[in-house]
A and B are shown apart, each in its own frame.
Chain A
Amino acid sequence: NLLCPGARCGANLCRLMSIRSVSVDLNNDASLLIDIPDALCERDKVKFTVHTKTTLSSFQKPEFSVPRQHEDFIWLHDTLVETEDYAGLIIPPAPPKPDFEGPREKMHKLGEGEATMTKEEYTKMKQELEAEYLAVFKKTVQVHEIFLQRLSSHPILNKDRNFQIFLEYDQDLSVRRKNAKEMFGGFFKNMVKSADEVLISGVKEVDDFFEQEKTFLLDYYSKIKDSTAKAEKMTRSHKNIADDYIRISSLMYQQKITRILIYTHIVVTMSFVSLQKVEGRVASDQELKLTELLRYYMRDIQAAKDLLYRRARALADYENSNKALDKARLKSKDIPQAEEHQQQCLQKFDKLSESGKKELTSFKGRRVVAFRKNLIEMAELEIKHAKVRSSIQLYYICFIMCTNELQYAWGICKILCEQI
């Protein structure tokens, strides 16, 4: 079936998971450990197995697993965002919807073009696409896992009742989700998106810290959004090159052409080019690191901006309540209510400012640490791969020059292929 492998990738997934693409401060606190050890892809839906290990008494069991869908994660995120008490916190960004559109479209095209390519080429491209599919799969699992781990490591959010339900409730959450939708109707989200920039920049800031943060975050967000888009384009180009190499190497692998060309050098080129194919995929994995890093922090910065928005709204509310109080005093009507309202607004605003300051400071620290780790890892990977590639190329050059003996060619090529 071309459209969806329907793979349960248990073992593969665990192995691949050891290379985390984005590093975030994961929960080191052993009292609540969450991970997604397994996931199943069925048609369009991905079913995650959320596994929890805890020493906290608030949970019924010390270890348990539940099946969850992407929509359940979104429900959890939205309820957290709409909880008044958490207005002063940066809510970890919701994981993006699993997007298999790219590889699926390619699979479709491959199926259509099957007649025009050789069996060898078709097999190779299919394998490549399956690997791509697996990579998207792995990525989506990681992103969902990181979301949960961010929550579990947050001292306030990890005590949220809905979070607990999400982790523990062993029935289908879709009923609860529907109720939530009816209550909020996605209204808040729309409001935030459209009023965002205007309100944040329009409000007169009294606090230097927030003034600076506001300027910084607005500017940084647009820059990082641009960088993410450009990094994605780079990754796509790398993939195109890798696909070209596959086509070239499969053409050269064909019996006919190698028998016809029968020259050592061409054999070597052929194997070399197929190594280049691997290089292509490796290069794009590295870039994925960069792209994923940028993409993750772009979303995180959006969450920070949302915090600023909520605070700005609270400030606006407070200013409005002041005006209402003045009006009430002028009219000598409903003064105690107005005073009460003004006090509430002030309290809310102060609470948001205090918690917001803490959140934004720790956010900066988190960001710097993550960038550092990922940039180092990316550079180290680039160096390692370039070294492997260049020593292999060196072997090939020596080899071509050394010998016209064809039976050596095949053997050496095999050995070198195993090196990658």
Chain B
Amino acid sequence: MFVLLCFQSGPASLTTEDLSTNANGPKQASLFDDDPDDLFAEATEEVSLDSPDRDVLLSDGPSPAITPMTPPTSVITPRIGHAHDDMFTHSSFDEFCCVLWLNVVFLVPGDGMNAYMAYKVTTKTSMSLFKLREFSVRRRFSDFLGLHSKLASKYLHIGYIVPPAPEKSIVGMTKVKVGKEDQSSNEFVEKRRSALERYLMRTVKHPILLKDPDVLQFLESSELPRAVSTQALSSAGLLRMVNKAADAVNKMTIKMNESDAWFEEKQQHFENLDVQLRKLHASVESLVLHRKELSMNMASFAKSAAMLGNSEDHTALSRALSQLAEVEEKIDQLQQDQANADFYFLSELLGDYVRLITAVKGVFDQRMKTWQKWQDSQMMLQKKREAEAKLQFNNKPDKLQQAKDEIKELEMKVQQGERDFEQISKTIRKEVGRFEKERVKDFKSTVIQYLETLLQTQQQMIKYWEAFLPEAKAIS
């Protein structure tokens, strides 16, 4: 059926041969569909709708996404880059091979609030788009925001899902600027670095966006004009907020006659997904918090147990209690690492997708706007035609010519409106398909990495308790 691999140490020895035997196994539906509310009866159908994509999905099956077990300390952030190493091997279906990562972060000094954090962006690629195979540039946070706003203004209105940039955090950044060298500001910097890395990777994974000159410039050129309109509380920022609000109001008043069932279904789908993901995200954030609490409580218990061990006058029991304290302290450290993993793998992933879904919904809104524009120009045309008929009736030849010219213009506008609408619909269909596919890959690789951390935690726990056991048995 499927290979049950039973070994105690890490799965680093899993080879693609072991796995490929069952990746495309025949559908043995009879064995497992005894479940009355089989949630996935529909699921297989839905996957098969995008039949070319399904083949791609299957061939991705034995993905070498399992990276060799990395020690707990470095497993903090998901390397989306690693997960897409398979891009290099699967280049047959896509000429797209570009991997990048962000590291080496340093604070560029300046007076007070003028100081900023610089990130080093390193790109490694085999594409001819770029001048070099491997290169690095220095960027600051506002550069990323600037990139996003440029891409959004260019591509959103024609239906491309532009990945959203990480959010500003004035409080977090201020602490870092003020030079507070503590745990929370380190965590903040790491969180931001990781978020920026994921943002950039998502952007370059988009085949159209990658080729955009702004993106190329961002990745390659050593100097970048300072993005001005992204400053917090700037007038441009206020203007954008106002525009967003106006958009929201408009959306409520557009009543579109949806003729395409696909769009109606997908919109509902994304609405639901939005709600569910937000709830899930909130729960995972709560989990992270509680795990951090657990770690704190374990640490304080360990100290207390150590003191109890010192106080104990029976020698062997005293030693055992001290050992217990040590084990609890080590496990506390494990729990802390686990909390980080919970956070970076699950919580941040969900947060990213909540924002991405908002971008997807934005794209659907753009389609509605496009439709509205088309309808508006159609209505205008109608009006003008009526006006023309009236003019003809009243026999006003000079105004008639003007009207006819206007009509011709409007007809072209209507045609363009229709073309735009069809184009955006087509683009969105492709984009949504691509989005869903990416989402699978993303969740899959992140879940695997998360499970690996959990597995590692468990195995460490086994080691610690097995070391403790003889101490407990030695009490007499």
| A interface residues (Cβ-Cβ under 8 A, vs B) | 216, 219-220, 223-224, 226-227, 230-231, 233-234, 236-238, 240-241, 244-245, 247-248, 251-252, 254-263, 265-269, 272, 364, 368, 371-372, 375-376, 379-380, 382-383, 386-387, 389-391, 393-411, 414
Contact = CB atoms under 8 A, between A and B. Distances in A.
B276 A260 contact: yes
A202 to B, nearest CB: 22
Contacts, number: 226
A410 B448 contact: no
A405 B448 contact: no
Contacts of B301: 227, 230-231, 233-234
- Central interface residue in A223, A255, A263, A405, by most chain B CB within 10 Å: A405
A407 B39 contact: no
B40 A407 contact: yes
26 contacts: A226-B308, A230-B304, A231-B301, A257-B272, A257-B273, A260-B272, A261-B273, A263-B440, A266-B447, A267-B39, A371-B321, A375-B472, A376-B469, A383-B466, A386-B461, A389-B458, A393-B451, A393-B458, A398-B11, A401-B66, A402-B61, A405-B27, A406-B47, A408-B32, A410-B38, A411-B35
A220 B311 CA distance: 6
A-B complex: 3 closest residue pairs judged by Cβ atoms: A411-B32, A237-B294, A390-B458
B308 A224 contact: yes
B22 interface: yes
Interface stretch (B153-161, B178-186, B283-291): B283-291
Contacts of B6: 391
Contacts of A414: 35
A398 B10 CA distance: 11
Interface in B317-376: 317, 320-321, 324
Contacts of A390: 8, 455, 458-459, 462
A401 B469 contact: no
B475 interface: yes
Given A241-B290, A241-B291, A233 B297 contact: yes
B312 interface: yes
Interface of B: 2-8, 11, 14, 19, 22-23, 25, 27, 29, 31-33, 35, 38-40, 42-44, 46-47, 57-58, 61-63, 65-66, 269, 272-273, 276, 279-280, 283-284, 286-287, 290-291, 293-294, 297-298, 300-301, 304-305, 307-308, 311-314, 317, 320-321, 324, 439-440, 443-444, 447-448, 451-452, 454-455, 458-459, 461-462, 465-466, 468-469, 472-473, 475-476
Q: Is the interface of B mostly helix, strand, loop or mixed?
A: helix
B290 A263 contact: no
A375 B324 contact: yes
Contacts of A226: 304, 307-308
B284 A248 contact: yes
